Structure 1
């Protein structure tokens, strides 16, 4: 049985990389993966924090969370790529067929030098390279090929209760504050399948920038739906063109997670510093980190962001539904201009894409 306590100790012992890549000689496995990384950066992501990047980042989570001490699974092993015919039938993976169609040809091109588990983690880490404000996520290589598909019903859904989500993450060694850290990915993400009438609807007002807006926006009083009402897992949002997940709203207001959520809303460096280690921890699920090789030099440093937390135009402190019981939400400046109408995220192809 996989030892989650050992995993936690190993993750804590691995320093989180925030500086630019070092000058050490690359281990042989990392050298073999240099052309893969270059190909992904140039020909998949193309220097943009766009739909392909969002999909690759989402894939990390949907692959890695597929492990449980109760029903098994391989965790971060690439099973979602190798056994996609099975795992893409899972309701929680709805929309990932287009992500696999986008990134899959790159795996097939390089499968002689990289396993599907390493490919998912490498692509996900590289996906943030063009996202201003994002942390540089560490990448370790050396995963064995997956042996079987992940069991169903291990990926949390946007309509799950906070109790259910916290319990699912606790099964694989994650604390509530780490769940909030992982949800930082929603700052550059969008949805296609929650409301299928409006594919590419972002969760955030700036879906190409890894900023704190998602944490501010979810606390604002919801007043509208960007498309149709009555969709499972969706609540009214405060900014036209954005989609609010029920699970995000409830986590933002749960006493176990509300204060971490509020901290991230006004502290970009803190948000970024917590996301990297949480993703690294995900990448080790089902793996023995001592058997993997640190190839983080392959991951470029994302552009810096001088983030100034602000309320969207027309929104003020009086519109905040705060829930942290130990600190008041600060009064932030309001962006000038008319109310926002956020455009959909351009899709990587003509089909609907990710829910990352």
Structure 2
């Protein structure tokens, strides 16, 4: 599910549900730009927000937004109570010469190169910036949940241990993926499967280098649960001629499917809507040593006075983005995962068979 192939990080997973550092008492403050926040330290993030929206993300749910999600996960997941690591401490940037050489981090060099100058320009820690950028990126993707941001991560002092075994791979068994996520933060199987919704804004660059930017969903600019339908369609083709390890056949031309997306039978429970999308951040953005809470919700509400189209409570999905079968598919193409509970019935979009262009 989460690997060098995908930008699948939606939450910061460093020492989740562990003992945190003492919190700074919150007291409302007014920033120099007139924004009202719960803590004066949060004011430092308004210039960052105003910079990265146009200059890093181009004000869109594009490749840099997708990469920001993936980077936030890979920085945070390099932690285990038994194996060590600092979690979401920015070590993947601070020690990029070491961590980017780890096979599961293949393809993250572009994200590190993109974010590093902004970190230097705003004099914030790499750990804080990575998680802030990931939270902001979601506000640009229609249908995405609103997640919070907490600041106060210290500078990384050492690289994460080699993440072989720490970063779940698409070719791992479902049992091993669930065990790793439980070890990293106490995530339940339902939590883990719900996180697969992030693949609706995901793309792969390194599964097959001959076809970079291959989406995992037929609507890769929308964050929705449509992916839970598409991964259960009977696969018939690969998007390229050289399928990668952990890649399985897809039903939609040009779309990439990972083994770890396809196998969990629980997927069928989420196709009519994902209640976890409404409750995030449940286990969200926690790290040891956090000292200041800066809810992005508070920040976004104030910024929305100047850029309302970018920051409603949630960018809604288009009216025609409800659960459906891709054009050219039919209900019998669903690969039934549960013998005792039938897959919900959907109608297909009209028109010629869906083909997904490269991102």
Q: TM-score, normalised by structure 2?
A: 0.83
Matched residue count: 316
Q: Secondary structure at the match of 1:134?
A: coil
Q: Residue 269 of structure 2: which of 256, 263, 268 is its match?
A: 263
Structure 2 counterpart of 1:135: 145
C-alpha distance 318-38 of structure 1, shift in aligned 2 (>3 A): same
C-alpha distance 271-329 of structure 1, shift in aligned 2 (>3 A): farther
Deviations 1:170-202 (A, max 9, x none): 112211111112221100010011111110000
CA distance in 2, matches of 1:236, 1:138: 36
CA distance in 1, matches of 2:104, 2:323: 32
Shift of 1:295: 3.1
Structure 2 counterpart of 1:84: 96
Structure 2 counterpart of 1:58: 70
Shift of 1:103: 2.0
CA distance in 2, matches of 1:229, 1:44: 32
Q: Residue 108 of structure 1: which of 103, 120, 124 is its match?
A: 120
Gaps of 5+ in 2: 1-13, 21-34, 301-310
Q: Residue 53 of structure 2: which of 38, 41, 59 is its match?
A: 41
Structure 2 residue 278 is the aligned partner of structure 1 residue 243:
no
The answer on whether the counterparts of 2:174 and 2:263 sit within 8 Å (CA) in structure 1 is: yes
Structure 2 counterpart of 1:292: 292
CA distance in 2, matches of 1:326, 1:274: 29
Q: Which runs of 4+ in 1 moved over 3 A?
A: 2-8, 23-26, 299-302, 324-327
CA distance in 2, matches of 1:104, 1:61: 17
Q: Residue 190 of structure 2: which of 154, 174, 177 is its match?
A: 177
Shift of 1:105: 1.8
C-alpha distance 178-55 of structure 1, shift in aligned 2 (>3 A): same
CA distance in 1, matches of 2:201, 2:112: 19
Structure 2 residue 129 is the aligned partner of structure 1 residue 119:
yes
CA distance in 1, matches of 2:37, 2:239: 50
Deviations 1:227-256 (A, max 9, x none): 0244211000010111001111123x3xxx
Shift of 1:4: 5.8
Structure 2 residue 348 is the aligned partner of structure 1 residue 334:
yes
CA distance in 1, matches of 2:202, 2:282: 19
C-alpha distance 275-185 of structure 1, shift in aligned 2 (>3 A): farther
Structure 2 counterpart of 1:16: none
CA distance in 2, matches of 1:298, 1:217: 35
CA distance in 2, matches of 1:87, 1:52: 20
RMSD: 2.1
Higher helix share: 1
Shift of 1:294: 2.7
CA distance in 2, matches of 1:158, 1:209: 22
CA distance in 1, matches of 2:221, 2:145: 14
Shift of 1:271: 5.1
Structure 1 counterpart of 2:171: 159
The answer on whether the counterparts of 2:106 and 2:206 sit within 8 Å (CA) in structure 1 is: yes
Shift of 1:327: 3.2
Q: Secondary structure at the match of 2:56?
A: helix
The answer on whether the counterparts of 1:55 and 1:99 sit within 8 Å (CA) in structure 2 is: yes
CA distance in 2, matches of 1:5, 1:155: 19
Q: Secondary structure at the match of 2:251?
A: coil
Structure 2 counterpart of 1:272: 277
Q: TM-score, normalised by structure 1?
A: 0.83
The answer on whether the counterparts of 2:152 and 2:289 sit within 8 Å (CA) in structure 1 is: no
CA distance in 2, matches of 1:105, 1:5: 32
CA distance in 2, matches of 1:121, 1:77: 9
